[in-house]
A and B are shown apart, each in its own frame.
Chain A
Amino acid sequence: MKEPAKEAPTVSAILFLLAGPILWAGHLLLVYGVQSVTCVVGSGSVAPSALIRTLVVLVTLGAILLLCLALFFPGRLAHMLRYQTPDRDNHVFSVRVERLLILLSLPAVIWSGAAAFLLDACGLSR
């Protein structure tokens, strides 16, 4: 059967709207994964702490950069994902939701990443 109405792929809409939280989740997965695995695997080697700190900071900076790009250039992101909203209402809604979610995700990423400067990488807190 031929489809009577077509619109942007739903996956594109999901990726565009949820760009912020997806990047936040990716950041958490990476910093937690890298830190946990390196602590266990590198327990016998010299100073995994410095390596972990560096990796956490790099991953955090990368996430911040991507979040800022998505925050300031939503049009480019939408174009890249082939997400188009022909009517103004939905366009405003989509961009606003995308930006606000990034604004929520940004401090959460910075908050998590800040741990690298404050705490021992593999030590217990008590």
Chain B
Amino acid sequence: MELPNPAPRPEGEVRELERIWATPRGWRLLTAVNNTVIGLLYIGVAFLFFLMAGVLAMLMRTQLAVGDNRLIGQDLYNQMFTVHGTTMMFLFAVPAVEALGVMLLPQMLAARDLPFPRLSAFAIWAYVVGGLVFFSTIFYDLAPKGGWFMYPPLTLTEYSPGDNADFWLLGIGFIEISAIAGAIEIVVGTLRTRPPGMSLAKMPIFAWTMLIFASMIMFAFPAVILATMMLEIERAFGWPFFSAARGGDPLLWQHLFWFFGHPEVYIIFLPAAGLVSMIVPTMARTPLVGYHLIVVALIGTGFFSFGLWVHHMFTTGIPAMSLAFFSAASMAVAVPSGIQVFAWIATIAAGRQRFRMTTASLFVLGFLFIFTVGGLTGVMVAMVPFDYQVHDTYFVVAHFHYVLIGGFVFPLFAAYYYWIPLFSRRPLSERLGRWVFWLMFIGFNITFLPMHLTGLKGMPRRVWTYPEDIGWNMLNAISTVGTYVLAAGILIFLIDLIAKFRFGNAEIENPWGAGTLEWLPNDVYSTRSIPHITGREPLWDRPSLPQEVRDGHHYLPNAPTGGRETIVTSPIHAQPQYVIQMPGPGWPPFLAAVFTAACFLLLTVKMVTIAIICGALAIAFVLVWAWGLDPGPSKGTIDIARGIRLPTYMTGPTSHSWWAMVVLMIVAASLYFAYVFSYLFLWLVSPEVWAPTGSPAPPPGLWPVSAAALMLAGSSTIWLISRRLEKLAASPVAMAAALLLSLALLIGALALELSGHLMTGLRPGDNAYGAMVYLGAVLFAQLAFALTILGLFTLARYLTGKLDGARRVTFDNYMLLYHYAVAQSLLGLALVHGFPRLIG
């Protein structure tokens, strides 16, 4: 292969890169956006939550060690298992995966950073502040008590008064938004910032898993965001989505929650499997066996996981044939999981040299054993008759801990031992690592293996104590001892981590002799030059690659725009397309995150005025942050290699910002389809409250037709502005008038929709039908609010000369969201106004 930049590089380029990518010091460290810095913060805080939720688990096990124990009261115990589960799922597992993505993806893809570093920083700080406040509720008797899945009617105000449940609903709802922000970053980063030549067929498996993980978040999380929104609205304003007496149904919550909750298991497991697929070939010193099969297994698992949600609801009285559909999918998903297990075993067997038994390898082998056991019990509970027997018993507790600890925690620890040399000057101790592994492995099995029997003996989950003479004492005592052994292993790890971890570059660059790009020589700017990729293990295929990269012989060895930048490539074949200019450190993302968290949390305790002020400040800081983006084409084109010149600015469907907006629209569409499902579900359950017989008939057809006409006129206005942006740029009055008109038309349509329903006498608190009708308007209003801010922001940029025919990214975003809002709202009008007429 001919080197992209064969000539020697001029002096001073590396110093320039170091200056541009320097990490801020002191207090300004809070403003850092480098993926290695914020990624480390992200994973550090996620690990802190793991420890804190682990302490809660130990306390619960201590309580259950003997029967009739009075160490912990019932109410506190309820808070503990809720916070334990919620923290492990929402504050540890998903953030830890996103943290690994933020930390490792740019390194694995040899990108300077992910495409939206400030969005990453915002997501991380929002999570840190929101998560810590949520967890602290356990100390003030304010923690939720409804279990990590918060089923109504238990969590309705009648049965859960006070603010405890609201902390879960607003706190977790907010953290899910942070997860979605991270997912947008990962999807666009994986598809658009790969190094030249790294086509989909050559992408590292971890990148595949992160792409699938983030895509799954896009489709799964909106369902639970809608559910939390509905439950909070019902608690705060009495709109009866889940109250059976007024046409709602608690089962709707279960459908929405588990449509998120089951994929969530795979959202956690798939990236862990990706970590294993990276570690196994290195330790076996041979390429991964069945790369194509593993990609297929990952995609298949991701898809099938969305067809399993009802298997959490086998005992809710759903017809047998429906159960069979989901039972079949539950068993089908075992096939791709099995493919991966066999591929790893085959890779270990295929190595010509002996499999290296490092601490990371031990954790991988431990994972294989534990996860396989969890998978087998998973097939058992996928069988409806067996599930009837063990539902809500300790058998299920044992099963999902085998899947989640085996399927995620063990690979995560393997990842710690494997990748810490990338970020720390000293690696962790291999000798202590073996102690850590064996204590964790033995402790885990002593804790959870007996729980299968405890469950089969009939012990239900979530009981704070049990009668001493019922025969569960011995098994519970063994489980408790196991917990302490497991905790001892984690404690040794923690001590070793504190003793050894020092941020910086390791003395040995590639200690395991791995073949992937993260082991190239790294610094704050990632790699000196971005390599051209010709295989899946570039460092094995081309041993001279590290030196070539260090000497700047590959792409973009310098900083030609004078700022932070990386190469954007095409999504399938990774051909260079343009150079993205990225923002550096700044206070706005940090402050926006703090005020967003404050807004949500203050709403929880009903401090509405201060919450609104915080919300306004959060929006203000987001606008300050966005003001510095969209740099325009002023830097022209630059050389990234001999004979390759790329533009430094891009608009339209090729630009990364367009991609991010499309991803956001997919998230919004997922949420809206969850709404459509909810509407139809509640109609099926309670047709008697539906219009036109059970509620006032919808307003006359002229109302929705007029609203639709206004929206279409708005869309046409936007289309015209887009077509004539260059000409309009010379006419401030026409441009301002057109933008304001588009907003007025949208708001007018919303006003028409709302007033039409108000006129009929329908109120949202009347019954489930009224609640669903007005929820549709709320979803429309959310988009209209976002568009109002974005529209005024676009206008402000135009009036200050930062938007014209060529520099138009801000307008493009407004345009995309506007058209989406119109499409969604037209569908809403058809549903809300058409459906009652159809059934009437």
Taking Cβ atoms with an 8 Å cutoff, the residues of A that contact B are 1-8, 10, 13, 17-18, 21, 24-25, 28, 31-32, 35-37, 39-41, 52, 56, 85, 87, 89-90, 92-94, 96-97, 100-101, 104-105, 107-108, 111-112, 114-116, 118-126
Contact = CB atoms under 8 A, between A and B. Distances in A.
Contacts of B324: 112, 115, 118-119
A122 B650 CA distance: 56
Contact of A3 (B300, B319, B572, B654): B654
A5 B647 CA distance: 11
B571 interface: yes
A96 B319 contact: no
B649 A1 contact: yes
Nearest to A125: B320
A94 to B, nearest CB: 8
Given A24-B307, A90-B573, A112 B325 contact: yes
Most buried by B among A87, A93, A120, A122: A93
Nearest to B202: A89
A125 B323 CA distance: 9
Q: Give the 9 A-B CB pairs with smallest separation, nearest first.
A: A115-B324, A21-B303, A93-B201, A5-B575, A125-B320, A111-B328, A108-B332, A100-B296, A112-B328
Give the dominant DSSP class at A's interface.
Answer: helix
B320 A13 contact: no
B575 A18 contact: no
A28 to B, nearest CB: 5
Contacts of B317: 124
A29 to B, nearest CB: 9
Given A111-B331, A111-B332, 14 more contacts: A1-B649, A7-B572, A10-B191, A13-B571, A32-B325, A56-B321, A90-B199, A90-B573, A94-B201, A101-B300, A104-B336, A120-B321, A124-B317, A124-B319
A122 B320 CA distance: 7
A108 B292 contact: no
Interface string B362-389: 0000000000000000000000110010
Contacts of A97: 292, 295-296, 299
Interface in B285-325: 292-293, 295-296, 299-300, 303-304, 306-307, 317, 319-325
B649 A40 contact: no
A100 B292 contact: yes
Contacts of B321: 35, 52, 56, 115-116, 119-122
A96 B279 CA distance: 25
A115 B320 CA distance: 9
Contacts of A2: 647
Contact of A93 (B200, B307, B654): B200
B319 A104 contact: no
Interface of B: 191, 199-202, 292-293, 295-296, 299-300, 303-304, 306-307, 317, 319-326, 328-329, 331-332, 335-336, 384-385, 388, 569-573, 575-578, 633, 646-647, 649-651, 654, 684, 806
A115 B510 CA distance: 53
A104 B693 CA distance: 47
Contacts of B293: 100
A12 to B, nearest CB: 9
17 contacts: A1-B649, A1-B650, A5-B569, A7-B571, A13-B200, A21-B303, A28-B307, A85-B572, A85-B573, A87-B199, A100-B292, A104-B335, A115-B328, A119-B321, A120-B319, A121-B321, A122-B319
Most buried by A among B200, B293, B319, B577: B319
Nearest to A1: B647
A4 B331 contact: no
Contacts of B306: 25
Contacts of A41: 684
Most buried by A among B324, B331, B576: B324
Contacts of B572: 7-8, 10, 13, 85, 90
A21 B300 contact: yes
Contacts of B200: 13, 90, 93-94
Contacts of A13: 200, 571-572
Contacts of A31: 325
Most buried by A among B331, B651, B654: B654
A71 to B, nearest CB: 13
A115 B325 CA distance: 7
B684 A126 contact: no
Contacts of B303: 18, 21, 24-25
Nearest to A13: B572
